[in-house]
Amino acid sequence: MSIEEIKQFMNENLLTKKEAMEITGQSLTAFDQAVATGRLKPFFEKAEGRSTVRLYLKSDVERYNKERIEHLKKFGRK
């Protein structure tokens, strides 16, 4: 796989936290809770000092959001 193919894959399939939150429509707190509880896992994570870079696989975010919406329809908001 060439560097260009890797970049293309990343552009098409990886999301930042902000982009993932736009798909789920969640607040920062709700999104962070989903990650903390393991309902949504970063595809890539690299910690450096006090900052951590996390990238999410688009298909994982879309799957999580579908499950989240189905759960809300079934049980309502708490």
CATH of the domain at 66: 1.10.1660.10
65 in Cβ contact with 26 (< 8 Å)? no
Over residues 21-30, the pLDDT tens digits come to 999 999 999 9
Rounded average pLDDT over 11-15: 98
Over residues 29-46, the pLDDT tens digits come to 999 999 999 999 999 999
Q: Which residues span the domain enclosing 8?
A: 3-75
**How many folded domains does the chain comprise?**
1
56 in Cβ contact with 32 (< 8 Å)? no
Phi and psi at 46, nearest 5°, equal: -140, 120
